[in-house]
């Protein structure tokens, strides 16, 4: 019987390995950037075209390679990082397996140009599908330049699985941000299709975070610093009031390596317990330093998952450190047991009693003691015709040394007493004829404008548990979920506006400025025209902010930030494609953001309008998210309850 087991050719083995290492253009970016960091570069430049599908180029000023290393580096398991199995437990570098360059060269056209600092000439190597087509000497600057072109050119099935350019570009930016945040001592730049997206100079940790995520990030950061025998923690967490609905700004770094850990993430969210609004997530940029022998990073092909020797202790330290920082910077309530001596009583005042101020009065003083009061002489508070002289005589009393009981230079006079009561009869008539105005409760804005009068309403609806609208019908009772019904109404309305390519807008008295990261602004450029059709008017779009001067009719200014943030978060998901659903996506996001919440009290008119507008929609039984809007309880079912 002949043998059936055989060794795979190298190019086939490399393509299989590429399936684990290179999943999309962002995977290539990650591997090349990490190689440049390991090469000791102080300046790294990333250039991409068509979201990396046509070109990915990484240029650095690292130590470079000689002509032998330039050829051997594309072989499988060729590495300069480890020499024995024991080195796996003392890793201080990014890559170490020696599979990345071999995998990339198997599925793309690769051009390598490299030169060491002590060499006069550099080496240029060209590879196509794991085959070296040329290797020549060339005049090159110090460092290394990798150019990866036509990714997946020999695996068209893998290329067809790639998402749209903006989705793939978002993944590239994510990998770029992770490496840049881990190494603020290195200068980074990113150029996409000839436009500069990032220019990050050498800086400290805080400034690097601000440069990556925009200038407004600086006011959101709360420093975290803790050092124990087990771990050293540095970094920042975001203030609770700046928490977002998306999880974009959440970064863990262990020994300057980006990782993902749901366990440590839970420790952070536990520290924010009671400080965040429902549905929001905190931002954090946390850097952990642990002894290399206490972690294992060789458990995942992309090396983004790590095993810790003592996860429970690390969880407790991380949670306590964040809670301490939030309290120390007065973000969260905290008990301070350190007494401030400046707030203590002076020594000479200790043991003394408090002295209360006194006012001397004469309870027997009566300016009209010589006259007997009659009912017609009662003081009228509505009198407005008192003479200035009389007023000054009545109220100018007391002496500088104290109150003596009689006014200064007071001389009783009864000759003109009638002037005190002039106009009383007219005032009485004014009081009787006056109309009292009672302040009314401010009426809240209606959800809809009524199309029908109250007399035209044939059925009476009522609200149940501030969540459902109950409407009697011929066959029984209809129970409507008010939020889902409103989502369907708004979705159809916004989708209609987008299809018409025009919608009325209301101008803002003061323009509204919203701040976003460069990657979010790159995504915004693809949806700007759609938002304009919705009624948004944009005055200015810069590298950090968007200035809005007009918003759609029916939307409050306070809701604009929430709408745009929710829309950005939704569009960053890779499951959506621009060709398919940008209009649907915008209408869906706005309907979800602006629909009334469960617990909102609706009056009769609002209930009837929701019912009428719901059944005017093309699809009234299912919400835009595919959930049932209403259910009907038949009379037969009700009757059976009483059998």
Instruction: Show me where the domains of the chain are located.
Output: 10-200, 213-328, 459-614
HSE-CB at 318 with a 13 A cutoff on CA atoms is: 28
**Which residues neighbour 512 within 8 Å (Cβ) at sequence distance 6 or greater?**
547, 548, 549, 551, 557, 560, 561
**Between 130 and 483, where is the model more confident?**
483
Looking at residues 593-621, what average pLDDT do you find?
88
416 confidence band (pLDDT: 50, 70, 90): low
Given a contact cutoff of 8 angstroms between Cβ atoms, the answer to whether 149 and 55 are in contact is yes
Separation CA 270–CA 265 (nearest Å)? 9
Is 123 exposed, middle or buried (CB count within 10 Å of its CB: 0-12, 13-18, 19+)? buried
- pLDDT tens-place string over residues 263-298: 999 999 999 988 888 778 899 999 999 988 888 776
Is pLDDT of 81 > 60? yes
Confidence of residue 372 (pLDDT cuts 50, 70, 90): low
pLDDT at 449: 45
> What is the C-alpha to C-alpha distance for residues 494 and 591, in angstroms, rounded to an integer?
8
> Helices marked H in 295-360 — which ranges?
311-328
**pLDDT tens profile 200-220:** 999 999 999 999 988 788 888
What does the pLDDT read at residue 568? 78
Distance from C-alpha of 58 to C-alpha of 54, rounded to nearest angstrom: 14
Q: Distances in Å between the alpha carbon of 252 and those of 119, 179, 234, 286?
A: 39, 12, 11, 5
Radius of gyration of the chain (CA): 38
How far out from the chain centre does Cα 241 lie? 10
Domain 213-328 fold: Ribosomal Protein S5; domain 2 (3.30.230)
Mean pLDDT of 9-23: 69
Q: Quick one: pLDDT at residue 366?
A: 77
Beta bridge partners of 468: 464, 481
Instruction: Identify the pLDDT of residue 403.
Output: 45
- By C-alpha distance, which of 287, 292, 300, 234 is closest to 258? 287
| CATH numeric code, 459-614 | 3.30.1370.100
Tokens at 92, concatenated? 């201080």
Containing H/E element for 477? Answer: strand 476-481
Q: Look at 551 and 453; give whichever has higher pLDDT.
A: 551
**Token pair of 388, please?**
């200035």
Short-list 49, 44, 35, 23, CA closest to 93? 35
What percent of the chain has a predicted confidence (pLDDT) above 90?
A: 27
Q: Across the strands, what pairs with 195?
A: 192
E strand or H helix at 462, and its extent?
strand 462-464
Is the dihedral angle over the CA atoms 28, 34, 38, 41 positive or is it negative? Answer: positive
Residue 321 pLDDT > 90: yes
Q: For residue range 479-492, what is the model confidence (pLDDT) as tens digits? A: 999 999 999 999 88
21, 91, 279, 370, 438 from 97: Cα distances, Å: 11, 11, 40, 112, 81
Which has more confidence, 427 or 501? 501
Give 154's Cβ-side CA count (13 Å radius): 18
pLDDT attached to residue 455: 41
Q: In degrees, to the nearest 5, what angle opens at C-alpha 433 toward C-alphas 431 and 436?
A: 75
498 or 638, higher pLDDT: 638
**Mean pLDDT over residues 555-579, rounded?**
71
In Å, how far are 159, 569, 571 from 574, measured between CA atoms? 16, 11, 8
Separate counts of helices (H) and strands (E) for the chain: 17, 22
User: Phi-psi bin for 508: left (phi > 0), alpha (psi -120 to 50), beta?
Assistant: beta
Topology alike, domains 10-200 and 459-614: no
**Cα 66 from Cα 115, distance rounded (Å):** 6
Tell me the mean pLDDT in the region 224-235. Answer: 92
Across 412-421, 566-575, 600-609, least confident range:
412-421
pLDDT, the chain, mean: 79
| Tokens 């893998």 found at | 158
Closest CA to 33 of 139, 159, 158, 188: 188
- Rounded CA-CA distance 294/451 in Å is 70
Residue 349: the pLDDT is 64
For 407, residues 6+ apart whose C-beta sits below 8 A from its C-beta are: 367, 393, 396, 397, 398
Residue 383: what pLDDT? 47
10-200 has which fold? Heat Shock Protein 90 (3.30.565)
Predicted pLDDT at 436:
47
- The 10s digit of each residue's pLDDT in 145-203 is 999 999 988 888 888 888 878 788 888 999 999 999 999 999 999 999 988 889 999 99
- The CA–CA distances, whole Å, from 162 to 22, 153, 347, 418 equal 12, 13, 77, 99
Q: Which of 207, 193, 186, 191 is nearest to 44 (CA)?
A: 186
- Where residue 340 falls among pLDDT bands split at 50, 70, 90? low
Let me know the angle formed at the C-alpha of 121 by 29 and 75, rounded to the nearest 5 degrees: 45
Q: What is the pLDDT of residue 86?
A: 59
Task: State the Cα–Cα distance between residues 189 and 151, nearest whole angstrom.
Answer: 22
- pLDDT tens, 373-406? 454 444 444 444 444 444 444 444 444 444 444 4
Q: What is the full DSSP assignment across 578-627?
A: HHHHHHHHHHHHHHHHHSPPTT----HHHHHHHHHHHTTSS--SB-TTS-
The helix (run of H) or strand (run of E) holding residue 85 is none
Is residue 136 within 8 Å of 126, Cβ to Cβ? Answer: no
Beta bridge partners of 226: 233
The closest of 485, 583, 567 to 534, measured between CA atoms, is 583
Q: How far is CA 53 from the centre of its chain?
A: 30
Burial class from Cβ neighbours inside 10 Å (0-12, 13-18, 19+) for residue 519 reads buried
């Amino acid at each position: 019987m002949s043998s059936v087991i055989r060794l795979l050719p190298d190019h086939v083995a490399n393509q299989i390995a590429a399936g684990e290492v290179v999943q999309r253009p962002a995977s290539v970016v990650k591997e090349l950037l990490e190689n440049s960091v390991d090469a000791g570069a102080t300046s790294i430049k990333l250039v991409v075209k068509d979201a990396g599908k046509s070109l990915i180029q990484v240029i650095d000023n690292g130590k470079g390679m000689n002509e032998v290393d330039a050829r051997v580096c594309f072989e499988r398991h060729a590495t300069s990082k480890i020499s024995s199995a024991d080195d796996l437990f003392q890793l201080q570098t990014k890559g170490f397996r020696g599979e990345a360059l071999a995998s990339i060269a198997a599925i793309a056209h690769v051009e390598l140009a490299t030169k060491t600092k002590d060499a006069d000439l550099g080496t240029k190597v060209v590879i196509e599908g794991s085959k070296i087509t040329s290797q020549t000497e060339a005049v090159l600057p110090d460092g290394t330049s990798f150019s990866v072109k036509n990714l997946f050119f020999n695996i068209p099935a893998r290329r067809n699985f790639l998402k749209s350019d903006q989705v793939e570009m978002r993944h590239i930016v994510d990998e770029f941000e992770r490496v840049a945040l881990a190494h603020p001592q290195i200068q980074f730049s990113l150029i996409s299709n000839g436009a500069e997206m990032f220019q990050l100079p050498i800086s400290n940790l805080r400034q690097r975070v601000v440069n990556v995520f925009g200038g407004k990030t600086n006011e959101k950061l709360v420093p975290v610093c803790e050092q124990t025998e087990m771990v050293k923690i540095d970094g920042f967490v975001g203030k609770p009031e700046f928490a977002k609905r998306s999880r974009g700004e959440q970064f863990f770094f262990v020994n300057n390596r980006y990782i993902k850990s749901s366990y440590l993430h839970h420790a952070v969210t536990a520290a924010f317990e009671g400080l965040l609004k429902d549905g929001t997530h905190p931002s954090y940029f946390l850097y952990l330093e642990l002894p290399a022998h206490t972690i294992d990073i060789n458990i995942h092909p992309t090396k983004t998952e790590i095993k810790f020797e003592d996860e429970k202790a690390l969880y407790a330290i991380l949670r306590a450190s964040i809670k301490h920082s939030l309290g120390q910077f007065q973000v969260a309530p905290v008990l301070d047991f350190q007494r401030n001596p400046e707030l203590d009583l002076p020594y000479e005042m200790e043991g003394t009693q408090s002295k209360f101020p006194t006012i001397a009065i004469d309870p027997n003083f009566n300016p009209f003691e010589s006259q007997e009061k009659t009912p017609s002489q009662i003081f009228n508070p509505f009198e407005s015709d008192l003479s200035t002289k009389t007023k000054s005589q009545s109220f100018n009393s007391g002496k500088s040394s104290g109150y003596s009981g009689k006014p200064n230079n007071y001389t009783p006079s009864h000759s003109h007493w009638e002037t005190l009561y002039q106009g009383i009869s007219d005032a009485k008539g004014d009081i009787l004829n006056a109309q009292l105005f009672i302040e009314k409760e401010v009426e809240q804005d209606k959800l809809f404008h009524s199309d029908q009068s109250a007399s035209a309403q044939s059925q009476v609806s009522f609200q149940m548990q501030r969540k459902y609208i109950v409407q009697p019908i011929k066959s029984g009772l209809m129970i409507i979920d008010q939020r889902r019904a409103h989502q369907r109404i708004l979705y159809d309305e916004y989708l209609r506006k987008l299809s018409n390519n025009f919608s009325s807008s209301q101008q803002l008295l003061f323009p509204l400025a919203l701040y976003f990261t460069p990657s979010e602004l790159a995504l915004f450029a693809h949806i700007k025209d759609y938002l304009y059709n919705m009624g948004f008017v944009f005055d200015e779009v810069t590298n950090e902010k968007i200035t809005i001067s007009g918003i759609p009719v029916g939307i409050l200014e306070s809701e604009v930030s929430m709408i745009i943030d929710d829309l950005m978060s939704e569009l960053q998901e890779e499951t959506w494609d621009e060709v398919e659903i940008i209009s649907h996506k915008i209408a869906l996001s706005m309907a979800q953001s602006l629909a009334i919440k469960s617990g909102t009290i609706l009056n009769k008119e609002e209930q009837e309008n929701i019912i009428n507008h719901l059944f005017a929609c093309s699809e009234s039984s299912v919400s835009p998210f595919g959930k049932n809007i209403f259910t009907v309880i038949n009379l037969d079912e009700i009757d059976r309850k009483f059998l």
